[in-house]
Chain A
């Protein structure tokens, strides 16, 4: 990771936490659908970055959202989970070649990129909502929340990616 990368990631971390707690947590479409854009940090973390560091940073990221949301540790758990599983998802969406640094998330094939984002987002939402709801009686709510919030997050995330890609290109 270059110095520039470190700086960009620190700024991204802080901006995403603030954006999430001040704006996105209050969207509440149809009463309960919110986009959880803050995991954009985990998705965009450099592919050659330290994996242990990513798990720890993701835990911190989730915990900062939890503190604001009064939700115990549900975001922290979901974030450290997807941070740990990320290499597997990368391999399965971009093929083995990602390990040789030949892939850039921003420049990858759109379909591959979509697979990568949606798998991580849906896994994150599923872990988060199951811990938050924490009851078998509300299993329907778990699936509807995961699905609708997941779709919303993926759309918002794709838009963010397009927006920032244009600027840097």
Chain B
């Protein structure tokens, strides 16, 4: 017995180190799985508060570009509205809102990183603003990521610049679809894989979201084809995509909620269970 106690006393620093190191590695591995980083996350009261404080200051530096972006978006939306008014004749104004499939929220990015291999963003909206896990996040220019963790007032987003992300996207002209990945090399270039060989790709073609997931509606802008090559077994293309978004300077984003998501997922789960 005495021997054991002596052993512990003699090696106490090593044992302490071993325990703490194991805890940290366990925490690391846990975050490598998809959204279960409940314990250590920047969406908590203290870190969220500090990031909000920082952003209240740094926001002023980008007001001009933010305003320009908003103006551009307004112009685009006005043009769309104009087309709509030409084709549809309103015979009477109705104040009832039609049941829509998607609804949108706005949020501010209070922390953004893009220099690591698994990047996350922190937003200043949380459960209290009816934000939930798995909502899609876009900016006025295009795709940003998916909500991975929510606290009362803050949420974290798994950015598309994250080696764990797989988002369904398609070639706008032909409709061939694949998944978006990131090879960690450039924060403005992502990769689209599994596009079949017979797709008529050309440099500069537009890539949009595919609408095959319950997260993003179809046709959210992603980027343009930068270059493409056949992958090893010659059946699929490996496409580099220039993002429309500048992922390094995000300020305001939109969150998309799909009202039918729960229903669709439940139905699909039922089918899987039967098999």
Q: Which residues of A contact B (CB under 8 A)?
A: 21-22, 25, 28, 31-34, 51-52, 55-56, 59, 62-63, 66-74, 76-77, 80-81, 83-84, 131-135, 138, 141
Q: Mark B146-159, 1 if CB is under 8 A from A, else 0.
A: 00000000001000
**Residues of chain B with a CB closer than 8 A to A56's CB:** 16, 20
Q: How far is the CA of A135 from the CA of B164 in the complex (A)?
A: 12
The CA of A31 and the CA of B115, in the complex, are separated in Å by: 6
Q: Which residue on B lies nearest to A78, using beta carbons? A: B24
| Alpha-carbon gap, A25 to B113, bound state (A) | 8
Question: Which B positions have Cβ atoms within 8 angstroms of A?
Answer: 12-14, 16-17, 20-21, 23-32, 37, 40-42, 44, 47, 50-51, 54, 111, 113-118, 120, 122, 156, 163, 184, 186-187, 248
Given contacts A28-B115, A31-B186, A55-B17, contact A70 B120 (CB under 8 A): yes
CB neighbours (8 Å) of B47 from chain A are 67-68
**What B residues does A34 contact at CB under 8 A?**
115
- Return chain B residues, CB-CB under 8 Å to A63: 24, 40
User: CA A143 – CA B113 in complex, angstroms?
Assistant: 20
Q: Which residue among A33, A77, A133 has the maximum number of chain B CB atoms within 10 Å of its CB?
A: A77
A69-B23 in contact given A22-B54, A51-B13, A84-B17 (Cβ < 8 Å):
no
User: Please, how many angstroms separate the alpha-carbon atoms of A165 and B163 in the complex?
Assistant: 43
Q: Are B122 and A70 interface neighbours, CB within 8 A?
A: yes
Please, could you name 29 A-B residue pairs with CB atoms under 8 Å apart, sorted by A? A31-B114, A33-B115, A52-B12, A52-B13, A59-B23, A63-B24, A63-B40, A68-B42, A68-B50, A70-B122, A72-B28, A72-B30, A73-B23, A73-B25, A73-B28, A74-B28, A76-B23, A76-B24, A77-B24, A77-B28, A83-B17, A84-B14, A84-B17, A131-B25, A131-B28, A134-B28, A135-B163, A138-B184, A141-B184
